[in-house]
């Protein structure tokens, strides 16, 4: 199995920021699955959803997972909130679920200085009631897909990254 760390969790929970902090602390590379998809198809996620629909986006996530499995090792991978559903998630590396309550996630996004932009780029966050329902539906699935779960609510990124390093032994010989 590749020695990657795969960060999964709901939209806005801080997967990207945590991945960048982990990369800095460990010297590993980091990639983000949404960024890989946008580069691959030269289109923003928002437009893929709008023009081609969610089904096509999920197929692109699977293609990205297949590429990661073949090509990527010793890397911190941050993922889109639904990426954990790819068929081969458990073979990509150690899967770490970043957990927070849905209300804390939504409050943090809404109070962000770039709240509008953050919501605009995430089609599944536009309707808050639907977002809450999606969170409830996914919570047990995130837990089932994960090797480790970390509670990230109201915590500094540094301390979250240190906990992940301790749990997964990433960056140690
Ligand atoms: C999605 C989460 C988004 C992005 C897409 C779909 C989801 O990524 O992949 O809008 O299904 O939860 P973030 O989790 O980085 O917001």
What residue ranges do the domains of the chain occupy? 5-168
At 75, is the secondary structure helix, strand, or coil?
strand
Nearest residue (CA) to ligand 1, atom 2 = 81
CA–CA separation, 133 vs 5, rounded Å?
28
- Pocket flag, ligand 1, residue 122 (CB < 6 Å): yes
pLDDT band at 171 (very low <50, low <70, confident <90, very high): low
User: Which atom of ligand 1 approaches the CA of 32 most closely?
Assistant: 15
- Pocket flag, ligand 1, residue 14 (CB < 6 Å): no
- Pocket flag, ligand 1, residue 21 (CB < 6 Å): no
Q: Which of 157, 155, 52, 117 is nearest to 165 (CA)?
A: 157
What's the pLDDT tens digit per position in 47-71? 999 999 999 999 999 999 999 999 9
Q: Which of 97, 96, 89 is nearest to 1 (CA)?
A: 89
CA–CA separation, 34 vs 73, rounded Å?
18
What's the pLDDT tens digit per position in 65-119? 999 999 999 999 999 999 999 999 999 999 999 999 999 999 999 999 998 988 9
The CA 173 to ligand 1 mean position distance, Å, reads 33
Task: Confirm if 11 and 81 have CB atoms less than 8 A apart.
Answer: yes
In DSSP terms, which residues pair with 151 in a beta bridge? 99
The CA 121 to ligand 1 mean position distance, Å, reads 9
Q: pTM higher than 0.85, yes or no?
A: yes
The CATH number given to 5-168 is 3.40.50.300
């Amino acid at each position: 199995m590749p020695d990657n760390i795969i960060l999964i969790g709901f939209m806005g929970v801080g997967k990207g920021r945590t991945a960048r902090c982990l990369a800095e602390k460990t010297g590993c590379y980091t990639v983000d699955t949404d960024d890989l998809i946008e580069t691959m198809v030269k289109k923003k996620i928002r437009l893929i959803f709008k023009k081609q629909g969610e089904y096509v986006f999920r197929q692109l996530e699977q293609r990205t997972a297949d590429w990661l499995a073949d090509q990527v090792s010793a890397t911190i991978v941050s993922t889109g909130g639904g990426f954990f559903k790819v068929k081969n998630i458990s073979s990509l590396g150690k899967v770490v679920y970043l957990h927070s309550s849905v209300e804390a996630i939504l409050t943090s996004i809404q109070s962000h200085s770039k709240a509008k932009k953050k919501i605009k780029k995430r089609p599944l966050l536009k309707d808050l009631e639907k977002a809450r329902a999606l969170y409830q539906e996914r919570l047990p699935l995130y837990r089932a897909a994960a090797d480790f779960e970390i509670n990230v609510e109201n915590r500094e990124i540094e301390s979250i990254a240190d906990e992940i390093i301790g749990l997964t032994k990433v960056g140690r010989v």
